[in-house]
Structures are given as structure tokens and as C-alpha cells.
Amino acid sequence: MDDARRVAAVLVEQGAGAVLVFGSVARGNAAASSDLDLVVVFDDLGDYSCRDHLRASLTETARHATTAPVDLWVTDRPHQLEQGDRHASRQPGRGP
């Protein structure tokens, strides 16, 4: 998890609003050969045509901060919220 924190700090310096860790590192069962699975969330990318270039650039940056292989995905808060709404199960709220 130290690698994940170090890489996240570097990505935040590059403008990321949040860095989410998933996969074996997040579950706590990573092996020495495990990759580092990350979702890098920006506030608003606006034009998504830059996403592939940004992903490549951030992946290269992340690889300089760790010896682990890096699998990195890029999104922004509007898209993240849209996906959450699309895939979430809405349950009626209950009072106290």
C-alpha cells in the first residue's frame, strides 16, 4: 500500500482530484508480482478526447514512482457520478 500512496501523491501533484486503488492491493492480498490498479479522478476533463493521451502520460509518471506494474484508468467526477447513477441500486430511505 506504500507504493499506492506514493503513486497517488505524485498523481495528485499532476492535478488529479482523487486516486482510487482497487484490485489485490486494495484487498490486501497483493503478491510481489501484482500490479497497481488505479482510477485517477479529475474534477472535470470536459473534452474526453484528451483522455487517452492523459492516461498514457499519467501511467508513465506513475511508473517512475514505483517498481510495480501500473494499470491506470482516467475519469472525471461528472462521468463517475453518471456511472454510479447508472449502476447503483436505489433503495427508498427510511426515517430514524
The tally of domains found in the chain comes to 1
Model confidence over 39-85: pLDDT tens digits?
999 988 887 788 899 999 999 999 999 999 999 999 988 787 777 66
Query: For residue 35, what pLDDT is reported?
Result: 94
Looking at residues 17-24, what average pLDDT do you find? 93
Q: Does the pTM of the predicted model rise above 0.85?
A: no
* Residue 72 belongs to some domain of the structure: yes
What's the rounded Cα separation, in Å, for the pair 11 and 62? 7
- Domain membership of residue 96 (yes or no) is no
Instruction: Read off the pLDDT of residues 45-55 as tens digits, 9 standing for 90 and up.
Output: 887 788 899 99
Give dist(CA 59, CA 38) in Å, integer.
Answer: 10
Structural domain including 55 reads 2-87
| Alpha-helical runs (H) found in the chain | 2-13, 24-27, 51-63, 77-87
At 48, which CATH number?
3.30.460.10
pLDDT at residue 15 above 90?
yes
Any domain includes 93? no
Is 94 domain-assigned? no
